[in-house]
A and B are shown apart, each in its own frame.
Chain A
Amino acid sequence: MAASPSTTAPGPEPSVRAPEPVAERHPQPARAKQRRTRNRAGKRPQVALLILAVPAVAFFVVFAYLPMAGLVVAFKDFDVNLGIFGSPWSGLANFRYFFSSGDAPRILVNTLFLNVLFLGATLLAGITLAVMLNEVRHKLFKRTVQSVIFFPYFVSPIVISIILQVLLAGVGGSGGAANDLLKVFSLPEVSWYTEPGPWPWILTIVKVWQLGGYLSIIFLAAITSIPEEVYEAGMMDGASRAQMALRITVPLLRPTAAVLLVLGIGRIFYGDFGTIYAIVGDNGTLFPTTDVIDTYVFRSLRQLGDFGTTAAIGLFQSVVGFVLVVAAVLVQRRYAKETSVL
């Protein structure tokens, strides 16, 4: 829910399904059903009803579909005075410029590597937390823990960035809580904000902190839908709690995890702009490990004002992203049919 249009949370995404007949959910006498169908077919929908959809439709046209058309700017030599559609065509020059710039491999590798890391770590954390929470019998304690671990999800990237500075930077780039902790174990201090090496892991920890509780709620919902008999059977056979968690709960969570994984893979080409940009900002020393497509695009736009090239990168990202998302949705539907979860 955070800042940018491309912020990714491997959260649930609804799928559009073919409308199922209402009667499936509300079984009722055949006659009533018949009357309704006749009503619906016989009466034309009241036009007034459509007014309700107008604001949202207007929004989608202006802020979703117009920008899609605006992507032609990727093939243009953009001139502010001539506008998007008046500027001269430049063919693939913008794409060539980006892919020959030498930045392309770095930001592509970073985007994929970081997202794989985030996805794996957050899913693992979500499952672990859910399985552990499931062991907690004390109701109040459980609810309190859930509330607490869910809270980071609602904190803005800016606040997270401040927290990191308090922990890592301290004053004048040295000190900070983390370094003081290192000192306790007589380890050498690290100048975190000038050292690109550890940042993929720091960002991963941030993502786990941010999303672990959120995902654990989704997994916990899946656990509650596991029939009690399964566990009773396990208990009869003398399984320990640990065995039941590892041999029953975790395997039964696999479909949910698979769906989330597939959806996450679908969005793997979109960096988490909000979090990364808020934390790293324009700190060039960290770019080798943290610069992703979204932050790169944003910076080129702001600093160079090069609309053509930036749009070309954006289009490239959208197209590859689209292919991945569609593939993900197709796979997800197959899973969804089998599992009825998500």
Chain B
Amino acid sequence: MRRRVEPFTVVSVVGVTLFAVACLIPFWMILAGSLTSESKLSISGYSFFPKPFSLDAYETIFTGPAVLSAYRTSAFITIVGTAISLAATSGIAWVIARRLPYISKPLAIFTYIPMLFTGGLVPLYLLVTQYLKLQNNLFAVILPLLVAPFLVFIQVSFFRQLPEEILESARVDGASELRIFFQIGLPLSKPILAVIGLFYAVTYWNEWFHALLFISEPDKYPLQLLLQNLISSVTNAATLPQSTAQAAPVYQIRLALTAVTIGPILLAYPFAQRYFVKGLTLGATKG
């Protein structure tokens, strides 16, 4: 029996389509704008079609040293940060998940408290600048974000779903607890490692707040901070009278740099998206 198409269904399809289009338009405007000649952008500020077409901005970006070095910095923060985060998160999650008497429960509470209460900005700032002396060190960006309690608990709930029989049989065969973790626990947890790694990677890639606080040398700027500086400088340029003759295509560069910043996420997205959905639903239903 074929179902009659009801008005509500039609409204729904139109509704979600409109929302999806609203989600896409800004990205299209950035891409189109980054390929539009500055002569048009400096009049309207935006463009829907790359006409007149121009690659000036990308040329400027990729021939100058600043963007490439920022790309390297961001890549370093993302890769090193994600690797350390994954290791630290899996480690503590495994110990909590094993339900060791006198250890797992206190450790879980120890991990949970920072979700409820934080020292806030000032003590962190003093800690990093006065005591650890990490100014202009990329680890000042990585370390404050190293372990997210929320992701620890997602991982704990995954570890607890692993079939106890497999671990037990390894134990009977005389494998040490560490060996069980590395040779059985981790290999069985690849899906959740992917989810958690992706969450960390996106966080590190998008990170700019700690960079803003702790990195002041321009040659150590990550991509996001470089972009943020461009926001303020173009804003400043925009509020000034037009006497500041613009040699470089500033509007176009700004959009091109934005496109370049989103690029890696966009490329990884089709692959990553199903994992994100999986991780979210796991977190939402299992807690």
Contact = CB atoms under 8 A, between A and B. Distances in A.
Given A50-B95, A166-B255, A212 B105 contact: no
Contact of A149 (B19, B43, B177, B178): B19
A55 B87 contact: yes
A48 B205 CA distance: 34
Contacts of A298: 121
B243 to A, nearest CB: 12
Interface string B123-140: 111110010000000000
Nearest to B24: A148
Contacts of B115: 13, 325
B152 to A, nearest CB: 7
Among A53, A80, A294, A297, find the residue whose CB has the most chain B CB atoms closer than 10 A. A53
Interface in B3-48: 6-9, 11-13, 15-17, 19-20, 22-24, 26-27, 29-30, 33, 41-46
A36 B101 CA distance: 14
A46 B176 CA distance: 8
A147 B209 contact: no
B287 interface: yes
Interface in A52-84: 52-57, 59-60, 62-71, 73, 80, 83-84
B202 A1 contact: yes
Given A45-B100, A166-B33, A12 B287 contact: yes
A318 B91 CA distance: 29
Interface of B: 6-9, 11-13, 15-17, 19-20, 22-24, 26-27, 29-30, 33, 41-46, 84, 87-92, 94-96, 98-101, 103-105, 107-127, 130, 143-144, 146-147, 150, 152-154, 157, 160-161, 163-165, 168, 171, 176-178, 181, 199, 202-203, 205-209, 224, 227-228, 231-232, 234-235, 238-239, 242, 251, 254-255, 258, 261-262, 265, 269-270, 273, 276-277, 280-281, 283-287
Interface of A: 1-6, 11-17, 19, 22, 25-26, 28, 36, 39-41, 45-46, 48-57, 59-60, 62-71, 73, 80, 83-84, 128-129, 131-136, 144-152, 154-159, 161-163, 165-167, 169-173, 175-177, 180, 193, 209, 212-214, 217-218, 221-222, 225, 240-242, 245, 273-274, 278, 281-283, 294, 297-298, 301, 307, 310-311, 314-315, 317-318, 321-322, 325-326, 329, 336, 341-342
Contacts of A59: 88, 143, 146-147
A156 B92 contact: no
Q: Which 6 A-B pairs have the closest CB atoms?
A: A67-B119, A70-B123, A170-B45, A314-B120, A52-B91, A56-B92
A193 B273 CA distance: 35
Contact of B110 (A5, A60, A245, A318): A60
A221 B285 contact: yes
Interface of A is mostly: helix
Given A150-B276, A274-B209, 17 more contacts: A1-B206, A5-B118, A36-B164, A39-B171, A48-B176, A55-B87, A59-B146, A63-B124, A63-B127, A71-B119, A71-B120, A135-B12, A161-B231, A162-B255, A170-B45, A218-B281, A342-B287
A129 B19 contact: yes
Given A46-B177, A53-B92, A55-B88, A132 B231 contact: no
Contact of A209 (B22, B100, B153): B22
B120 A297 contact: yes
Given A45-B103, A147-B270, A240-B8, A154 B265 contact: yes
Contact of B168 (A36, A158, A167, A274): A36
A154 B239 CA distance: 30
Contact of B92 (A57, A71, A144, A307): A57
A151 B13 contact: no
Nearest to B265: A154
Contact of B118 (A52, A68, A145, A209): A68
Contacts of B164: 22, 26, 36
Among A134, A158, A240, find the residue whose CB has the most chain B CB atoms closer than 10 A. A158
B178 A171 contact: no
Contact of B269 (A147, A157, A214): A147
Given A4-B209, A158-B228, A131 B123 contact: no
B238 A173 contact: yes
A53 B95 contact: yes
A73 to B, nearest CB: 6
Nearest to B100: A45
Contacts of B168: 36
B76 to A, nearest CB: 17
18 contacts: A3-B206, A14-B154, A45-B101, A50-B95, A53-B92, A54-B91, A56-B152, A64-B119, A67-B127, A84-B126, A129-B19, A145-B16, A154-B206, A156-B208, A217-B277, A221-B285, A341-B284, A342-B284
Among A148, A193, A310, A317, find the residue whose CB has the most chain B CB atoms closer than 10 A. A148
B120 A53 contact: no
